[in-house]
Amino acid sequence: MPWRYALALVKDLADDRATLSIISDGDHRLSRDQDIARLIAAVAEMK
């Protein structure tokens, strides 16, 4: 998703806790070890 669309979506969300992470060198699948670690950490923060 283009980052400008993602930013607009986050701004329109009703929840102020929404965050946006931009991974400039990430591929569509975010399947590298560092990408997976970032996803796991983001989910862990939601608990």
Domain range enclosing 27: 3-45
pTM as predicted: 0.74
The string of pLDDT tens digits covering residues 1-47 is 889 999 999 999 999 889 999 999 998 899 999 999 999 999 999 98
- The domain tally of the chain equals 1
Q: What per-residue confidence (pLDDT) applies to 1?
A: 84
The dihedral built from the CA positions of residue 35, 20, 12 and 16, taken in this order, carries a sign that is: positive
Expressed in percent and rounded to 5, the helix, strand and coil fractions of the chain are: 50, 0, 50
Q: What integer pLDDT is reported at residue 47 of this predicted model?
A: 80
